[in-house]
Amino acid sequence: MKNSIQASVEFSFKGEDYTLASRIDLDPLLRDHDALPSIHAILARLHSIDTYSYLYEVMQEAEIEFSNPQGLAADYLVDGKFEPAALATNWQMAKTGILLQSIAARELGITDLNQHHALRRALVEAYNLGRKT
């Protein structure tokens, strides 16, 4: 299932009211970034607002409302509060686990890496070290 969420923000600038709403596809964002980019910045780009403008600065002061989460996003929207950092962290951990499991199976014949805690921790550390260089 696709991971997405509806985001909307309402604000006024120079006597004009703005309502920006978009469904945000989280999958490419999670694939391309360690953490989700600013939702305000995503909405601005989707609505052709320059992120170096006064309009954007005013928009950043308004609270974003989230609704209709799909996929994993549903687990990170609680009482109207969306936790994008937690979603990104857990998504990255799951992705890492899948990558490492395939290596453990191919190279070591281990079908469930979660049964080998020390080896899993060592592989995760090596993976993270490789990503930093």
Residues 56-65 have pLDDT tens digits of 999 999 999 9
Q: Where are the beta strands (DSSP E) in 4-130?
A: 4-13, 16-25, 65-70, 77-78, 81-82
pTM of the model: 0.77
Report the pLDDT value the prediction gives residue 1, as an integer from 0 to 100: 67
Q: Tell me, yes or no, whether 42 and 70 share the same domain.
A: yes
10 and 55 belong to one structural domain? yes
Residue 87 lies in a domain: no
19 shares its domain with 66: yes
Residue 64 is which amino acid? I
Q: Domain count for the chain, please give it.
A: 2
> Is the Cβ–Cβ distance between 5 and 82 less than 8 Å?
yes
Same domain, yes or no: 51 and 101: no
Sites in the chain below the pLDDT cut of 50: none
Q: Last residue of a domain, which of 64, 82, 100?
A: 82
**Phi, psi for 123 (deg, rounded to 5):** -65, -40
Pairing of strands 81-82, 77-78: antiparallel
101 and 67 share a domain?
A: no
Q: Are 65 and 100 part of one and the same domain? A: no
* Structural domain span for residue 103: 92-132
pLDDT at 130: 84
SS3 category, 44? helix
- What's the confidence (pLDDT) of residue 95? 84
| Residue 16 and residue 78 in one domain | yes
Same domain, 27 and 78: yes
pLDDT of residue 57: 97
pLDDT at 54: 97
pLDDT of residue 113: 86
